[in-house]
Structure 1
Amino acid sequence: MNFASRVIAVLFLLCGSLVLLRLRNHSDSSQAFFRTSGRNNQGGCSGRLTRLKDLGIKFPIKYARRDIIIKVNPDLDRSSLTQIDAPFLSEVQIVDPVQSPDWGLEQCSPPLTLEVPTFPRQPANASHVIFGISTYIKRMDDSIPHLQRSLAHTSARLIVLLIDSGEVTPDSKEMAALETRMRALGIEATVVGAPKGSLMQVRYFSLVKILYDNRDSATQWISLLDDDTFLPSMHSLVNTLDTYDSSKEWYLGAMSEDWWSVMVYGMMSFGGGGTFLSIPTAAQINNNYDTCAERSTANQGDIRVFECITAHTTTKLQPVIGLHQADLGGDLSGFYESGRLPLSLHHWKTGWHFEQKPEQRALNTYPMAKMHLVSDVCGDCFLQRWQFGSDTILSNGFSISTYPTQNALAELVKNKEMDKVEDTFMPPREVNSFMKGYEHSIGPLRPKVEGKIQYKFLDAKVEDGGVRQYYIYRALDKEPDIVYEIFWTRHEIHV
């Protein structure tokens, strides 16, 4: 090869290398763009808006979405408020999957990784507890999904004492069908009929005897619940019970949050928060059952249990932090946005019966089983709080809240006011006592934040290897509603 040919060959190689280098750089910058924008080959922004049509909302809407990937950190404890420097979502965009089902988003927030404490992947072992509920058969349709979330595959036994709305015992076929349905969901349920014409307070009290008679060698506790009592973390509940010596007499529960009720009814366990009796205490009630039943004139079953224990034992109520009767009226946001993980929640089905307005009671009914689905991905993260940037807080499973100014939230955090419960409730009932409100139960309160915007939980679904949550802000006038979607996974799945 002569000199000229060699020069041409070298120039050709140099040009080829430059082209390859430019192509490689172009490829790297494109991949970086896809990573930051979320437009990857696994789905990105397109092809996922049609799911919104199943939510029963009015289109068009303003919409934004974020994927959250959960990372387990064994060195973490569950925090009341975890601060994240990044903003939560990109700007909302107008979408209408009815008119444009294949239209993608112009902006996508990249996936966000959040750390949570280690959590058990297997259900808790609650084989030493028997739960009991007395209710109407027609109310069980609403209760079963929540009982499944609480009790399924835990080996806890459940006895359901039933009547129908006409105060008549359901027939054996109905009860057998209900029992089969619950057992198919992993709930070790036994369904029995209450005597015809027996009053609710009598049925509730009789549950103690029924549960005691059905104990086995492993049983350490019997528990009385209402059909609208939800247990968010069986692991936490079992761990709490394990701190008490069940061979001794124990009467565990929660007083009402309403101090008026405590003043009137006494230091008793209000049944909706869950009452837990050790076997020695249940034995005392069983031994004195007929006497207690004959002498009581109480119009509520939990009062009859309290009466019998008081009359025949020296055992007193041991209040358990985390059990909640939830006798709170008005806007319950302060309670659910406090960052705490309850052991029990009550009144999710119909609200508190002392609500000032019936329409408010309707607002305070919550699809607790759906709200709780996210715990399948991140353990005890239900109702856990994360602060994003300077003005946004996610109360997981309840709301996304944006504060009116950056300083409003910063001052609350700086002064540790976020450790207190926001007083969003209706005024407590008047009572002649130094204690006027709810502090004896839920602790110190802080003033309600005016101007805070809330995106309330709308729906959740288990699909695509994770849990999708939807939150909505109902806009005023003719403005579109705003919907936020969060997709929670333990692995990097984007669909």
Structure 2
Amino acid sequence: MGGSHRRYILFVAVFLLVLLFFLTRLQYTSVPPLNAHGDIHNDVHKEVSKGSTASSEYTPICPEWQTSTLEYRGIKLSPKINYVRRCIKPKYDDSIARYNRGDGHFVDRVVNVSGPLITETTLVDLKACDFPEYTSCDTIELPVQRPYPKKKFDEFAFGVATTYERLEKSIPELRHWLADSSATLIALVADKEDEVKSKKLDFSRLVRDFADAGMTLKIARPHGRDHSVEKSHMMVIRDVLSHIDVEGNASETRWLGILDDDTFFPSLYPLSEALSGYNHTIPTYLGTVSENLELSQIGGPGAAYGGAGIFLSVPLAREIAPHLDSCLSERGGDMQIMECIHDHSHARLLPVPGLQQTDMASDVSGFFESGRRFLSLHHWKSWFHEPVEKQAAVVNVCGDCYLQRYSFDDNTILTNGFSINVYPNGYPDFTRVEATWDYGYSARSYHWSMGPLRPPMSKKDKLTYKVVDAFTTKDGTFRQIFVRKGDREKKEVDKVIDLLWQV
């Protein structure tokens, strides 16, 4: 009896342990959270053990938070957050478009929307596995323009002079506007031969990586042993011409786009529309100068700046191509192109409104929040740092709505794709650009290109949420995540606004 009794007690104990283990597992796996792309993660420990870039300022009890929708690629959140979600129902309305004044410049307007943007706020304890995916989502109708029509952009062939490393790191941003476009990127990779060998640079693999991302990349090499990136910036014209001749698509190609490796287009569609107003059948030179008056005077009024994009018609490129070697100098690449065009053709620069050199440093929020319609952007990973491909992802939902401004009844402005700003003490003068960047207001060098500016606002008068991520889930919902960081010294929690576009 004693032995049987002990075996019975042992059996019950084992059964209870197994049951407890099962119930514990059930607690954490019955409602798995979604990751940033709408997928269910059941391999969290494997991700973390491999050195996942997702990180936080707490050790979550519930490990699923390491890859849930609130743990955004390197964005550290406080252990508790204030969370707001709004469901956006697009209402297509062409009347709210930023219209053309007639000279190619688009008038920025603020679209008024009735009701508040920021409504019910939920305090989320990330340690407690309190999943906000199941909080309420009040719907708001937002007037927007229709998505851009689907089309190919065979009229473009792009050229860039850069290094292997910089080209490789730019894949996500290039993919945003170049993937599935039918346009080809010819990259003159200027690394020296000894660097290619010592670093074991694999050009074939890089081409495959671009192809996997939906892009066509052709690699070219320097035309001279002493050619720097600056000299290659002009010489790549020859490689682009060679490409369109070899591929037999010279009849389709209209424009050679000579870019910097940090030139970014929110979309090729408005760029194509803008350039269609210029004659590509004759030698034509398109671009823009710097927004900064002093910097624009370096090359004079006749030099297009490559960061904004330099566009040469095929006839102009053919006219100067035989002279490229003789045009090489120690000046910047943009200046070399200008001087070669001036010396060997009658073409002169035609400014294209909307191309932006973006010669601004540090905090460029005032520039992005101006409501202006940009065809290109530059310096996003050097003079300042912005996740431009996440910001501009909204063009896939509502076309020309990127950076359009919306005003709500709670003194809140949504600059679509970039920020949400709350003005507790009232709105500023939105007809003037807020000069937030270094020397923007004091130097007065930007007035000539932007008109009268206004000084930067204090942090108590302007409460800012910035986009940190944007993605489309498996069910087709497009989500924009805005974060306002709390003051750690004051033990403030971070605030998150999650906009879910029902498209």
TM-score scaled to structure 2, two decimals? Answer: 0.77
**Post-superposition shift, 1:457?**
1.5
Residue 279 of structure 1 corresponds to which residue in structure 2? 314
C-alpha deviations, 1:101-152, integer Å up to 9, x for none? 35787x7351112121233342x32101110111111112331111111111
Aligned-partner SS, 1:288: helix
Q: Quote the offset at 1:265 in angstroms.
A: 2.3
1:111 aligns with 2:139: yes
Amino acid in structure 1 at the alignment position of 2:321: N
**Secondary structure of 2:152's match?**
coil
| Equivalent residue for 2:406, pick from 379, 386, 391 | 386
Match of 2:283, SS state, is coil
Q: Note if 1:424 corresponds to 2:424.
A: no
Using a 3 Å threshold, how does the CA distance of structure 1 residues 62 and 102 change in structure 2: closer, same or farther? Answer: closer
- Residue 158 (structure 1) aligned to one of 162, 168, 185: 185
Q: Which string of whole-angstrom CA distances, capped at 9 and with x for unpartnered residues, describes residues 219-260 of structure 1?
A: 211011111111012110001110001112211111012211
1:429 and 1:473 mapped to 2: Cα distance?
Answer: 25
Q: Distance in 2 between matches of 1:468 and 1:310?
A: 48
Cα shift at 1:83: 0.6
The aligned counterpart of 1:452 is 462
Identify which of 346, 349, 365 aligns with 2:381.
Answer: 349
| Deviation at residue 191 of structure 1 after TM alignment | 1.8
In the alignment, the residues of structure 2 paired with residue 243 and residue 439 of structure 1 have an alpha-carbon distance, to the nearest angstrom, of 27
The superposition leaves residues 164-210 of structure 1 with CA deviations (integer Å, 9 ceiling, x where unpaired) of 48873479971111112212322122122335542111111101121
Q: Which residue of 1 aligns with 2:256?
A: 222
Q: Is the 8 A contact 1:325 1:345 kept in 2?
A: yes
Stretches of structure 1 that go unaligned for 5 or more consecutive residues are: 1-47, 352-363, 491-495
- After superposition, the Cα gap between the structure-2 partners of 1:99 and 1:428, relative to the gap in structure 1 and judged at 3 Å, is closer
Secondary structure class of the residue paired with 1:344? coil
Structure 1 residue 176 corresponds to structure 2 residue 204: yes
User: What is the CA–CA distance in structure 2 between the aligned matches of 1:75 and 1:428, rounded to whole Å?
Assistant: 33
Rounded to whole Å, the distance in 1 between the matches of 2:418 and 2:194 is: 36
* 1:404 to 2:424 alignment: yes
Q: Is 1:192 aligned to 2:220, yes or no?
A: yes
| Equivalent residue for 2:447, pick from 433, 439, 454 | 439
Do the aligned partners of 2:264 and 2:378 also contact (CA within 8 Å) in 1?
yes
Give, in whole Å, the separation in 2 of the partners of 1:74 and 1:382: 14
1:59 to 60, 64, 79: 79
User: Which one of the candidate residues 123, 132, 139 is aligned to 1:94?
Assistant: 123
Cα deviations across residues 20-73 of structure 1 (Å, max 9, x unaligned)?
xxxxxxxxxxxxxxxxxxxxxxxxxxxx99521345422111111111121323
Which position in structure 1 is the counterpart of 2:483? 472
Count of aligned pairs between the two proteins: 414
Partner-residue secondary structure (3-state), 1:53: coil
User: What SS does the aligned partner of 1:286 have?
Assistant: helix
Q: What secondary structure, in the 3-state scheme, does the structure 2 residue paired with 1:201 have?
A: helix
CA RMSD of aligned residues (A): 2.5
The yes-or-no answer on 1:255 pairing with 2:265 is no
Q: Distance in 1 between matches of 2:298 and 2:141?
A: 49
Q: SS at 1:52's partner residue?
A: coil
Which of 236, 240, 245 is the matching residue for 1:211?
A: 240
5+ residue gaps, structure 2: 1-63, 99-107, 245-249
Report what 1:291 is aligned to.
Answer: 326
Q: Distance in 1 between matches of 2:494 and 2:70?
A: 13
Against the structure 1 CA distance between its residues 302 and 60, is the aligned structure 2 distance closer, same or farther, given a 3 Å change threshold?
Answer: same
Contact 2:413 2:421 in 1 (8 A): yes
**Per-residue deviation at 1:443?**
3.3
Larger Rg, first or second structure (1 or 2): 1
Cα distance change on mapping 1:473 and 1:203 into 2, 3 Å:
same
Give 1:484's aligned residue. Answer: 497
AA in 2 matched with 1:290? D
Structure 2 match to 1:313: 345
Show the counterpart of 2:472. 462
Assess, with a 3 A threshold, how the Cα gap between structure 1 residues 167 and 173 changes in structure 2: closer, same or farther.
closer
Cα distance change on mapping 1:206 and 1:90 into 2, 3 Å: same
Cα pair distance change 1:72/1:368, threshold 3 Å: same
1:320: Cα distance to partner? 1.0
Matches of 1:378 and 1:430 in 2, distance apart? Answer: 37
The whole-number CA distance in structure 2 between the counterparts of 1:403 and 1:94 is 22
How far off its partner does 1:384 sit? 1.4
Q: How far apart, in 2, do the equivalents of 1:134 and 1:281 lie?
A: 20
Residues 64-90 of structure 1, C-alpha deviations (whole Å, 9 max, x = no match): 111112132355524631111110021
Query: What SS does the aligned partner of 2:498 have?
Result: strand
Once the two structures are superposed, residues 249-307 of structure 1 have per-residue CA deviations (whole angstroms, 9 ceiling, x without a partner) of 211111012211122221211110000011222122213223212xx231x11111011
SS in 1 for 2:118: coil
Specify the code of the residue in structure 2 equivalent to 1:453: L
Q: Distance in 2 between matches of 1:240 and 1:292?
A: 30
Q: Which amino acid aligns with 1:473?
A: R
Q: For the residues of structure 1 that align with 2:382 and 2:213, how far apart are their CA atoms?
A: 24
Asked if the contact 1:89/1:109 (under 8 Å) is kept, the reply is no
Closer/same/farther in 2, CA of residues 308 and 112 from structure 1, 3 Å limit? same
Q: How does 1:22-61 map to 2 (within 5 A)?
A: 50-54=68-72, 55-61=75-81
Instruction: Give the counterpart letter for 2:415 in structure 1.
Output: S
CA distance in 2 between counterparts of 1:102 and 1:399 reads: 24
- Determine helix, strand or coil for the equivalent of 1:418: coil
Secondary structure, in 3 states, of the residue corresponding to 2:204?
helix
Contact 1:159/1:211 (8 A) holds in 2:
yes
Distance, in Å, in 1 between the alignment partners of 2:132 and 2:309 is 49
Equivalent-residue separation in structure 1 for 2:410 and 2:122 (angstroms):
22
